[in-house]
Amino acid sequence: MSKSPFTVNKGVAILIVLLLSFSVSKGQLADTLKDVKVKAKKKLQISNDERINTYAPGQKITSIDSITLRQYQFQSVANMLAQQSPVFIKTYGINGLATLSFRGASAAQSQVYWNGVPLQNAAMGISDVSLLPVALMNKINLVYGSSSAMWGSGNVGGALVVENEKPYFDTSNVFHHSVYAVAGSFSQYQLGLRSGFSTSKWYVAVNGFGQSAKNNFSYIDGAIKRNMSNASLSSGVGLLQVAYKANSKNVISLTGWYQQYYREVPRALFESQSVKNQRDESLRLLADWNRTDKSVHTSVKLSYIRDYMRYQDTLALLNTKNASNQLYTEAAMRFAVGTRHRIMIMAPISVQWVDSASISQTNTQNRYALAANYLYSNPSGKLKVALNLRGEAVDDNSYLLPGGNIAYDITSWLTLKANAQKTYRVPTLNELYYNPGGNRNLLPESGWSTDAGYVFHSNSANRVVLNHELSVFNRVIDNWIVWFGGAIWTPHNIATVHSRGVETDNKLTVGFGKLNLHLAVNTSYVLSTTVSSYISGDGSIGKQIPYAPRYNGQINIGFNFRQLYFNYNHTYTGYRFITVDESQWLMPYNTGNVQVLYTLPLGSNNLQCTAQCNNVWNKQYQVVNGRPMPGINWLVGIRYSIN
């Protein structure tokens, strides 16, 4: 039996995780529950990326706050977003693929970025967010709506931007360490360690964990109660960051991220049995140079990402292996002209290729771009106008992507926003060259995306604080790509799809001394319907596209008192049609989830206890047809941090 190019002896892998798995950021250790805000103020640096902080004043951007990151620190980004955002997470059940859908967009139209680098699989053009651990992330932002001019083609529906700790330098030679252990339902276990130190010249942080689970939960199959089989999971993850401050102007940093997941794939309800399994391995390397002068900031990034996947099914005699590769480099310069004008120029280059028996030969996709972002602020600072322009060439195709967004503060508590972008998505390597089934005649998806709204925020110094945001959006995409067929599935440009809807984010906080109560409600209404189809008589005209729920929402209610935090989360996901003519659908589902955090100070150190109970009402539901989700389940964790 051939081995994966990343295969490591299990004992060695565990040893590597234990030795190289320390890292706690200074900010995380210093965090207490007293000063946490669910929504970051727009003037704060909510990201390490200036495209978010500076050049998107009119876009809707949601920053996941530090307390939410701690609530879900032992889970995946997919679980967190499913419970805490209106972004639809299409998950194929336990151990299955989980993808993003922003505002009715497809998975390939919803992008993921890691420290500014595209994280999509080079072959499929999507990212499995169930394999993104919250434990590694310091900042997570959701960018709603298209921003192709800033982030590149493919960013049609929105973007998930995940970031590791930004290197910091301390003349007092600061060391930080932590260790944590987790146990949960269905034989879930996790062990992780973090460590880091900072001097006036060096920053080093390592972070890693190992986990395993049987996932043998019970579910109802027709009228029969069964236990999930062939559903075990094991993984090892390690992240290393090293940064060197050469002088007051120059910082060089290196980041290496390796992870390996082995997942058994349980049977779907329409299958008699399953012996399928999948191994996912990723190696992500990033080198970054930043130079800051008085008026000019210059940066250069160089990244290499390799994703390896091996899928086996002995019943079907399948043993599929493929490795996708991406080499990405980006040079950027930003500067200010006076006090009113800011300019950022970027030159990203991406080369992608796939080594796979399922891709005929070894095909590549080359992307070259030149982008400019401009921000104007009026003297009072109330008006901000951002203009974005990107010229991009993908192999033999070239196109121009204009965009712009605007924000105006009517008062200190009310801001109006608007955003308009041209969108474009080039077919992926799989869509073009998959063997059998690839379609080299595919046209790129293209269209326009617009959204507008307002933000209301009361004075945070008051005892009662109300934050409310409303956004309406509209998007029309031509040449929408869909896979369909019989024995051999093939992608086709079949339709024009019109997506529109409204979203609201609401949070009320009431303080009574050391007791703070909170109530947050997020709602989403999305119509994503087929306007025209190249397939006559398919019944899709005017119908909702498959797996795009019209209604989606979350409620969070709870309190924090001193070092104790309690939250009850309730999620609702509406009907999901599974056919283009709406003839078949999945029923809506509600889930309730409880999170409890308690931090016990021990001198300069602290002990943090976490408890979660998911699906507390033990609902039977499916996100994707034939893939049952777990009933009531729990997770507890303990972290000891040394400052």
Closest CA to 480 of 491, 458, 496: 496
pLDDT at 436: 81
Q: What are the angstrom distances between the C-alpha of 390 and each of 122, 126, 345?
A: 21, 22, 10
**What are the contacts of 431-437 at 24+ separation with CB within 8 A?**
431/125, 431/481, 431/491, 432/363, 433/354, 433/359, 433/360, 433/361, 433/363, 434/358, 434/359, 435/357, 435/358, 435/359, 435/360, 436/488, 437/483, 437/485, 437/488, 437/489, 437/490, 437/491
Separation of alpha carbons 411 and 496, rounded Å: 40
pTM, entire model: 0.91
131: DSSP letter: G
Q: Tokens 């998950």: give the residue.
A: 91
pLDDT at 401: 95
Transcribe 214-226 into DSSP letters: ----EEEETTEEE
Torsional sign, CA 149, 151, 157, 163: negative
Question: Is 81:87 a contact under the CB 8 Å cutoff?
Answer: yes
| Phi-psi sector, 542: left (phi>0), alpha (psi -120 to 50), beta | left
pLDDT at 528: 96
Separation of alpha carbons 260 and 263, rounded Å: 10
Q: What are the angstrom distances between the C-alpha of 263 and each of 58, 302, 360, 582, 622?
A: 41, 31, 27, 33, 19
pLDDT at 358: 57
Closest CA to 253 of 292, 297, 299: 299
Question: Is 377:398 a contact under the CB 8 Å cutoff?
Answer: no
Q: Give residues with Cβ within 8 angstroms of 235, minimum separation 6.
A: 210, 211, 212, 259, 260, 261, 262
Q: Which residues of the chain have pLDDT under 50?
A: 1-42
The stretches of 498-634 forming alpha helices (DSSP H) are: none
Separation of alpha carbons 260 and 8, rounded Å: 10
The domain spans of the chain are 10-642
Q: Tokens 């390796």: give the residue.
A: 258
Separation of alpha carbons 404 and 391, rounded Å: 15
C-alpha 143: how far from chain center: 10
Q: Is the preceding omega at residue 491 within 30 degrees of 0, hence cis? A: no
pLDDT at 44: 64
Separation of alpha carbons 556 and 87, rounded Å: 16
Q: Give residues with Cβ within 8 angstroms of 430, minimum separation 6.
A: 123, 124, 125, 354, 358, 359, 438
Separation of alpha carbons 460 and 458, rounded Å: 6
Can you tell me whether residue 116 is helix, strand or coil?
coil
Separation of alpha carbons 376 and 463, rounded Å: 35
- Which fold does the domain 10-642 belong to in CATH? Maltoporin; Chain A (2.40.170)
pLDDT at 361: 63
Separation of alpha carbons 45 and 52, rounded Å: 9
Closest CA to 563 of 24, 20, 36: 36
Biggest alpha carbon–alpha carbon distance for the chain: 72
Separation of alpha carbons 392 and 400, rounded Å: 6
Question: Is 465:494 a contact under the CB 8 Å cutoff?
Answer: no
Closest CA to 532 of 473, 490, 479, 583: 479
pLDDT digits (tens, 9 = 90+) for 559-610: 999 999 999 999 999 999 999 999 999 999 999 999 999 999 998 899 999 9
Say which amino acid occupies 643. Answer: N
C-alpha 381: how far from chain center: 31
pLDDT at 357: 58
For the sheet with 117-118, list strands across it: 61-63, 139-144, 158-163, 110-114, 117-118
